[in-house]
Amino acid sequence: MGHDCRPLIRAHEVGEYVFCARAWWHRRQSHPSIREEDRRAGRRFHIRFEQQRRWGGYLIALSILLAIAGMVLLFGALAFRL
C-alpha cells in the first residue's frame, strides 16, 4: 500500500476557495509571499464587496416591493374603472 502524497483539502477550505480563490491559494503557501500592504488591500476589497452584495440584496427586495405595489395600484385602478 503506497502513501498518497496529494495535498489534503479540508471541508472549510472549499468555502474559503469559493469565496476567494486567491486568498485560499495564499494561505496554502508554506511561506506566503504577499506583502502586508497587499494583504490590507485584499481585506478592504472584501469589505467593499460584502457591502455591495448587501446593498444589492436590499435593492432587489425594494424592487420586488415596488413591483407588488405597482400591480396593486394597477388592479385597483382597473377594478374602479369597470
pLDDT digits (tens, 9 = 90+) for 36-66: 787 788 889 889 989 999 999 999 999 999 9
1, 5, 27, 6: which is closest to 15 by C-alpha? Answer: 27
**18 falls within a domain:** yes
Name the domain count of the chain. 1
In a domain, 31, yes or no: yes
pLDDT score for 34:
67
Domain housing 58: 11-81
Q: Does 79 score more than 60 pLDDT?
A: yes
Q: What angle do CA 56, 62, 49 make, to 5 degrees?
A: 10
Domain membership flag for residue 25: yes
Q: Which are the contacts of 28, defined by CB distance < 8 A and separation ≥ 6? A: 7
Is 1 a member of any domain? no
Examine residue 6 and state whether it is found in any structural domain, yes or no.
no
Q: What percent of the chain has pLDDT over 70?
A: 87
Contact between residue 19 and residue 12 where contact means Cβ atoms under 8 Å apart:
no
- CA separation for the pair 56, 60 (Å, rounded): 6
Please indicate, yes or no, if residue 5 is contained in any of the structural domains: no
Residue 51 has a pLDDT of 93
- Cβ atoms of 39 and 65 within 8 Å: the answer is no
Residue 32: pLDDT band with limits 50, 70, 90: low
